Amino acid sequence: MPKRIDITDFDVLGPISRGAYGAAFLAKKTVSGDIFCIKKLRKSDMLAKNQLEHVKREQGILISTHNPFVVRLFFSFTSSTDLYLVMEYLNGGDMFSRLNKLGVFAINMTKQYAAEITLALEYLHGMQVSHPFSQ
């Protein structure tokens, strides 16, 4: 039986961001050297905020998507206290972080992001995925 993957299979290189349920870290898979973003989500926070089903749904959606405008989830695992999502590392960060850093986007950058978001939403809606706030 193959060994289950866990956090000890990665070298954590540093923090990327913090969120409502945990944090994201840049990590390198020890054996392959591949670089990933690992989201570490505290189970207790997800339960306290009644978000467990939302996170499970997001996990299921991301593991099944293959689109250049939707971040890939490669695998996940748990510890006694946390859920780990091993995701594609996107150099440059998320749009919110980028906007905070730049202050405003130039019009060409805004057009590019709008087009990419539209393509991502079109793909997800084609999979019958909709945002929970739009239901």
In-domain check, residue 41: yes
> Is the dihedral angle over the CA atoms 90, 42, 11, 30 positive or is it negative?
negative
Is the pLDDT score of 134 beyond 80?
no
pLDDT digits (tens, 9 = 90+) for 34-86: 999 999 998 888 888 788 888 888 888 888 899 999 999 999 999 999 999 99
Instruction: Work out the average pLDDT over 109-122.
Output: 93
Question: What letter would DSSP give residue 3?
Answer: P
In-domain check, residue 69: yes
- Helix H, strand E, coil C: the string for 42-106 is EHHHHHHCCCHHHHHHHHHHHHHCCCCCCCCEEEEEECCCEEEEEEECCCCCCHHHHHHHHCCCC
Average pLDDT, the chain: 88
- CATH number of domain containing 114: 3.30.200.20
In-domain check, residue 64: yes
Q: 37 exposed, middle or buried (CB, 10 Å; 0-12, 13-18, 19+)? A: buried
Number of domains in the chain: 1
In-domain check, residue 89: yes
In-domain check, residue 2: no
Domain of residue 65 covers 7-134
In-domain check, residue 24: yes
In-domain check, residue 115: yes
In-domain check, residue 1: no
pLDDT digits (tens, 9 = 90+) for 17-33: 887 778 999 999 999 99
